A and B are shown apart, each in its own frame.
Chain A
Amino acid sequence: MAKQYEIPIGAQHISLLEPLHFKFTTENEKIVKTDANVYYVHRGIEQACCSKFKFRQVSFVVGRVCGLCSISHTTAYSQVAEKLVKIEVPKRAKYLRMLVIELDRIHSHLLCLSHVAENSGFEALFMKTMQYREFSMELLEAVCGNRIQYDFSIVGGVARDLKPQVAQSIIERLKKFVPQLDELMDIYKNNWTLSLKNKGAGAITKEDAMRLNVVGPFARAAGLAVDVRNETEDLLPWKEVGYEMITETSGDVYARNIVRLRELYVSIRIIENIINGLPETPLITETKAFPDGEATVRLEAPRGELFYYAKGNKTQVLERLKIKAPTFSNVAAMAEAFTGNEYGSVPAIIASYDPCLSCTAR
């Protein structure tokens, strides 16, 4: 048996956006065992939401759980609070929520793709992807008023209306973006240098993905058709606006890149459908009721299934709020998929998981 070495990565590392610690046991540069340590950023948001803030303020606090998918968190919380106070949201608010979620998905997926390219050692592609991503940030600023931390969903509806000229500019910018996306698809699919780092790295089989309860693009790249947008219809009407499931089969870094890129085409189609068929209803349902009872909500964030549970007791302050983020489900599979890979391809694999630890640790 060859000699085994332990190599740590983290908590601070050039390839990590957030504090995350992996300890790899390697044997001739091959990884045989991985320990993951993800709880560096635990802040205690759940406890503060149940004691310090009133239930209408909580939707702004849970947006700060994660900066990348903050609209998913605020929307999921707004939905669970609406279930507790028993109101129905106007249809225009639902459509606007879906619009911002999909714009957010575009910027999140492109960020992840650029990060994979950077960690694979392809600096030029990182720059190119970040350049093409910038339009989505400008559109989000035009729609919501801020580049990140939108605070768009509130309990009962949405905070802002979509102006007609902003809607027009979204359509125009998306038309410009489609050829750029084709170009990116071509590079990520056919570039020989990138494929050396990405094809076959960090692969996970469909059975393992099923056993380890993987969600999001990570699961869809392995061939597992899991998507909350495909399953729930009651809160946000995804199928009405042209949602389509996207899966790949190989389950490696390459497949994850392709899944993310192909989902962008679906997102573009959804946004165009939403803007063309935006219903004319009020934006918000007012109520003076207090939250009572229990409710759960599932929502598809850019990284996978987001789960909210809330319990109210007829006061302004919630009794319990539970957040289960998508990365939390993926941690076990993340540690498993490293096994058998070269140590040199670790940064690219970590970036391809798209881990969001501030969601996980809350």
Chain B
Amino acid sequence: MKLASYRKKSPWILHYNAGGCNGCDIEILACLSPKYDIERFGMINTGNPKQSDILLVTGPVTKRNRERLVEIYAQMPEPKVVIACGACASTGGVFRGMYNCEGGIDQYIPVDVYVCGCGTRPEQIIDGVVQALAILETKTKELEESVRLKKEAVKEKQQLNRRNIADEIKPAFT
């Protein structure tokens, strides 16, 4: 079963607003609309983190949103790609240094593609998502390679195993 090729043809997108101004979010909606139409790449906006491959995050991370962001990232299955959409998701933008903002999502989750601009244009978002597809492919290959263990298993001196337990108890002093 060629799961990897299917994934390349239909990457599903999860969108989360981590405290932005809605500007990039409406541009993501505009990407779904007939003029830009990212469904020609097979992309569908899903609401379920467990079915999605690409996480599109907008906005600087506010203190109340960061647990939700990390939770959503953790629920997505491997391989996954994160796109920081907009200036404030990449670096904090104009909100950097405000008391309830964290300044960029890469402080909490690993980011693969940064899309610049305030607000991002739909063409830029499409370009970022297409770059993310290439990264998704390499990540899939890495995941599917068989990994040979090169190191030996760790043996510690103090390790307690069943054989040690079965040993006779030595007298403390003779």
Contact = CB atoms under 8 A, between A and B. Distances in A.
Asked if chains A and B come from one complex, the reply is yes
Nearest to B69: A12
Contact of A44 (B20, B23, B99): B99
A18 interface: yes
A39 B98 CA distance: 16
Contacts, number: 125
Contacts of B26: 17, 67-68, 111, 148
Interface in A344-361: 356, 358
Interface stretch (A126-134, A263-271, A276-284, A318-326): A126-134
B86 to A, nearest CB: 10
B35 interface: yes
A15 interface: yes
Interface in B37-84: 45-49, 59-60, 62, 64-65, 68, 72
B95 A43 contact: yes
Contact of B119 (A43, A60, A131, A149): A149
Interface in A132-168: 133-134, 137, 146-149
B25 A18 contact: yes
B49 to A, nearest CB: 8
A216 to B, nearest CB: 16
A67 B64 contact: no
A43 B29 contact: no
B64 A42 contact: yes
A70 interface: yes
A207 B21 CA distance: 33
A17 to B, nearest CB: 5
Contacts of A14: 45-48
A12 B30 CA distance: 20
B17 A19 contact: yes
A311 interface: no
A13 B14 CA distance: 10
Contacts of B65: 11, 19, 40-41
Given A41-B62, A127-B33, A358-B20, 11 more contacts: A14-B47, A17-B29, A40-B65, A41-B65, A42-B62, A45-B98, A66-B21, A131-B35, A147-B27, A148-B27, A149-B23
Interface of B: 16-27, 29-30, 32-35, 45-49, 59-60, 62, 64-65, 68, 72, 88, 93-95, 97-101, 118-119, 121
11 contacts: A14-B45, A17-B26, A19-B19, A41-B59, A45-B98, A64-B88, A66-B22, A67-B21, A67-B22, A67-B24, A115-B29
Q: What 8 A-B pairs are tightest by C-beta distance, nearest first?
A: A14-B47, A67-B23, A130-B33, A67-B22, A148-B23, A41-B19, A44-B98, A67-B21
